[in-house]
Amino acid sequence: MKIITYNVNGIRAAVQKGFLEWLENTGADVVCLQEIKALHEQLPLLELSALGYEVYTYPAQKKGYSGVAILTKINPDRVVQGMQHAQHDAEGRVLRADFGDLSVLSVYFPSGSSGEDRQAVKMQFLADFSLYVENLKKERPYLVLSGDYNICHKAIDIHNPISNKNSSGFLPEERAWVDSFLAQGFVDTFRYFHADLAHQYTWWSYRANARTKNLGWRIDYHLVSANLQEKLLSCQILPDALHADHCPVLLELNI
């Protein structure tokens, strides 16, 4: 099973930049999208269907904001919107698809970069998401949590850790949350295969020619439950996809 996660920063804008043509060539079975910024009917449903994908979405209540989607060539047994938390669900941040014993989630964590209020929302989301997943594992123990976490875990995951030590997305308390979440029984699949590989990023600012200079952050992840570790085949970042300020990450599982 090939699973891609991709924050497209607006699906309609990404389509104008060749997203559909790129998608056709990936061979992906499941694609988790974040920040779709669109209602279900605003997605290119006919074109995606022609490529063999069923389309499931969970848009934010606020138009043109946030929202997640799952595109799948495999018919899911069940699709569940949200994490049963009114504040977070209003922003369209979690969508789950069940395939037999396996559950794949498209997740979009809040950003705290716009100020203290949103940073507080982000920290609350981290606590609530941990509890949600802890409970979900009792029912669905085989989990793939794919998405934009808006956190760089370690210094190797960010181009300038010293100057960004007080930046949202690299705060000590955010990084400590990743430590604790992995300790709940999850594997960072990219680092599982590439423990010491530096300068590997999934997001670049539009400012200062950051992408050309590769001044980026690794904030998009496939985290899988530890019981799937033996099923891991590969995980790679795909920086040549240029439809957004993020790039996709591809996970391959022997399922």
Structure tokens at 36: 């779709």
- What does the domain layout of the chain look like in residue ranges? 2-253
Classified as helix, coil or strand, 75 is coil
> For residues 239, 200, 27 and 51, what is the CA-based torsion angle, rounded to 10 degrees?
-50
Query: Distance (Å, rounded) from C-alpha 38 to C-alpha 57?
Result: 9
Classified as helix, coil or strand, 202 is coil
Pairing of strands 216-217, 203-204: antiparallel
pTM over 0.95: yes
Report H helices in 66-183.
Answer: 86-89, 116-139, 172-183
Query: Distance (Å, rounded) from C-alpha 130 to C-alpha 25?
Result: 35
Task: Reply yes or no on whether 148 is catalytic.
Answer: yes
Which of the following is catalytic: 89, 101, 148, 196? 148
Candidate CATH numbers 3.20.20.450, 3.40.50.2300, 3.60.10.10, 3.30.70.270; the one for domain 2-253: 3.60.10.10
Q: Provide the residue-wise pLDDT of the chain in tens; the chain has 255 residues.
A: 999 999 999 999 999 999 999 999 999 999 999 999 999 999 999 999 999 999 999 999 999 999 999 999 999 999 999 999 999 999 999 999 999 999 999 999 999 988 899 999 999 999 999 999 999 999 999 999 999 999 999 999 999 999 999 999 999 999 999 999 999 999 999 999 999 999 999 999 999 999 999 999 999 999 999 999 999 999 999 999 999 999 999 999 999
Structure tokens at 196: 């010491």
